[in-house]
Amino acid sequence: MATATEAPASITAEGPTQHVPNQDHPSVYVLMSRVMADVKNVAKNGRNASQNYNFRGVDDFIGALAQPLREHGVVMLPEVLDFQPSVRGKMNAVHMRVAFHFIGPAGDRVTAITLGEASDVADKASNKAMSAALKYALLQTFMIPVDAGALDDGDRDHPVGQRSPADAYMERLRKPAVWNNVNALLGLHAEAKADGLLNSTVSGPDGDIALGDLLVARGKELKAEAAQREERRAKEAPQVAAQVAAEHGVATTHDRADAPTKEDRNAHVQRLMAQVADRNCWNSPDALRQIKGDAEAHHVFDEQVQGPQGAWMPMRTLVTVRITELEQAAEERNERSAA
């Protein structure tokens, strides 16, 4: 009878997989193949109601393998090889590399090394990362049967594999109702600021960018587009009115007997430009909007006026551009105060 050889006293995953044969027992390779033959399919038995998806958790894999491992005498021992904590906004995050040693009754062993990553607002990040590492160690080592195509989603299936907190903001930001809505962007910016995530790096349309910068840039883009549409509509308004009047036989403003004369329009322009030149008005978006409405009501919004640098332009351009400048300056001040 062959003499039994004891397993090594020290186990370290950094070296090669060790084999200490004992001829009285099958090798760990043989026993693990028998475990693989006995393990059953693991389905997505868990349900995440808040995010509306099914998942297979680490408990499902432990339940599928516990009995076959016991029956064939295979013991599993975990070993954390590397541990890296970090902070994501208000979340505690952990990255770790874990070795799982599968030891047979003959004393030989096989080691599987996987990665675990997770985050938590309290003290559970390490627990979740260990669970994630264990789940994929069992799944990949024993080739546990799963549903066809179920691995395509990666860690999204994992109930404890938390993503970056900024990812939740990006999911909301990608929705058209938010991406194309200035007020929704402002609300999202306020929430991200409260969560300390404005400086979190996210993937924007043109590459990596801070979440706060992406929100501000998109808001400015929407405001510029709105200003261009408004200016275009105003320029087209006389033509549209003339076309409607021609089709329905209605006199346009310029054709009516009570239409303002050129002298009247000039007087209105001078009065409004005097208000624009006032320092308090020039630096107030609300005051400029009132002037804008007054100019539209008196049909002088397209009248040529002289801007601050001496250039001539339609009054609509002067007022609209100045409102946009003031709003952008206010946003930049808010960003600096939040930094």
Tell me the per-residue pLDDT of 18-74, one tens digit each, with 9 for 90 and over: 555 556 789 999 999 999 998 887 777 666 554 555 667 888 888 889 999 999 999
pLDDT for 181 equals 85
Average pLDDT of the chain to the nearest whole number: 77
Q: What angle do CA 169, 175, 180 make, to 5 degrees?
A: 105
157 close to 46: Cβ distance less than 8 angstroms: no
pLDDT for 3 equals 41
Q: At what angle do helices 285-297 and 315-338 cross, to 10 degrees?
A: 160
CA–CA gap between residue 189 and residue 183 (Å, rounded): 10
122 close to 92: Cβ distance less than 8 angstroms: yes
Q: Please report which confidence band the pLDDT of residue 82 belongs to, taking 50, 70 and 90 as the band edges.
A: very high
Tell me the per-residue pLDDT of 131-175, one tens digit each, with 9 for 90 and over: 999 999 998 999 887 755 444 444 444 444 445 678 888 888 888
Q: Which residues, including other chains, have CB under 8 Å from residue 79's CB and lie 6 or more apart?
A: 11, 12, 13, 98, 99, 100, 101
Among the residue ranges 20-24, 78-82, 214-218, 286-290, the one predicted with the least confidence is: 20-24
210 close to 198: Cβ distance less than 8 angstroms: yes
Q: Please report which confidence band the pLDDT of residue 110 belongs to, taking 50, 70 and 90 as the band edges.
A: very high
pLDDT over 50 (residue 227): yes
Query: What number is the average pLDDT over the span 112-118?
Result: 93
pTM: 0.41
pLDDT for 185 equals 87
Q: What angle do CA 234, 235, 239 make, to 5 degrees?
A: 105
CA–CA gap between residue 204 and residue 218 (Å, rounded): 10
The partner residues of 201 in beta bridges, in order of sequence, read: 210
Nearest 5°: phi and psi at 144?
Answer: -65, 130
pLDDT for 97 equals 96
**Maximum mean pLDDT: which of 10-19, 128-137, 266-275, 313-322:** 128-137
pLDDT for 246 equals 65
CA–CA gap between residue 309 and residue 63 (Å, rounded): 77
pLDDT for 74 equals 95
pLDDT over 70 (residue 10): no
pLDDT for 133 equals 94
Question: Do you know the residue count of the chain?
Answer: 339
Q: Please report which confidence band the pLDDT of residue 114 belongs to, taking 50, 70 and 90 as the band edges.
A: very high
142 close to 36: Cβ distance less than 8 angstroms: yes
CA–CA gap between residue 244 and residue 255 (Å, rounded): 13
Share of the chain above pLDDT 70, in %: 74
pLDDT over 70 (residue 248): no
Tell me the per-residue pLDDT of 167-205, one tens digit each, with 9 for 90 and over: 888 888 888 888 888 878 888 888 888 888 888 888 777
Q: Please report which confidence band the pLDDT of residue 101 belongs to, taking 50, 70 and 90 as the band edges.
A: very high
pLDDT for 1 equals 37
Tell me the per-residue pLDDT of 300-326, one tens digit each, with 9 for 90 and over: 777 888 777 777 778 888 888 888 888
Between the CA of residue 338 and those of 41, 170, 196, 212, what are the distances in Å? 51, 20, 9, 10
pLDDT over 50 (residue 11): no
